């Protein structure tokens, strides 16, 4: 499971002109689910993201988590995070999980993050063509992979 986590002052996802998820200050999480990912990956990644200390404290240091600052979260599925460009210039997405595996894990991730934050998490629409708009605060952008677990 791979996530691109961005600290944002606002973010919104739109599908066919309809806003499906929108947040103010918090985290935008682009989430890619790989073949072989399990609920263990979901649990680890949701906890890791919720605990990331990437928001500033009173001294201006990145020392607070999204939980500490009562921030929001927007989770958007993005299978292209699992792309391989090892052969040529056309990406291969063979490592991405099929929808039958990915959808339940995506939904579990959203539920787990919501439970950790203590409030609903905004989302896109799995498998849809989405437009994502954001204001990256900082900018702060991290890539986290549950198979590396750094």
Angstrom distance (rounded) from CA 27 to CA 6: 6
Q: Are 82 and 93 in contact (CB under 8 A)?
A: yes
DSSP label of 129:
-
Of these residues, 6, 78, 112, 123, which one is catalytic?
78
Beta strands in the chain (DSSP E): 2-15, 18-23, 26-32, 55-56, 62-64, 72-77, 122-123, 131-145
80 labelled catalytic: yes
Of these residues, 6, 14, 55, 79, which one is catalytic?
79
Q: Are 49 and 27 in contact (CB under 8 A)?
A: yes
Angstrom distance (rounded) from CA 143 to CA 30: 9
6 labelled catalytic: no
Angstrom distance (rounded) from CA 5 to CA 44: 15
Q: Are 47 and 87 in contact (CB under 8 A)?
A: no
Of these residues, 35, 80, 93, 111, which one is catalytic?
80
79 labelled catalytic: yes
Just list the catalytic residues. 78-80
């Amino acid at each position: 499971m791979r996530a691109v986590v961005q600290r944002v002052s606002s973010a919104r996802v739109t599908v066919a002109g309809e806003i499906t998820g929108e947040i103010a200050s918090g985290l935008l999480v682009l989430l890619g689910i790989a073949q072989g990912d399990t609920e263990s990956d979901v649990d680890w990644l949701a906890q890791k993201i919720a605990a990331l200390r990437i928001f500033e404290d009173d001294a201006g240091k990145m020392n607070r988590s999204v939980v500490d600052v009562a921030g929001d979260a927007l989770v958007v599925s993005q299978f292209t995070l699992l792309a391989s460009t090892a052969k040529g210039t056309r990406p291969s997405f063979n490592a991405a999980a099929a929808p039958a595996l990915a959808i339940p894990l995506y939904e579990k991730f959203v539920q787990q993050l919501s439970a950790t934050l203590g409030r609903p998490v905004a989302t896109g629409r799995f498998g849809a063509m989405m437009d994502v708009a954001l204001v990256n605060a900082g900018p702060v952008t991290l890539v986290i992979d549950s198979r590396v677990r750094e």
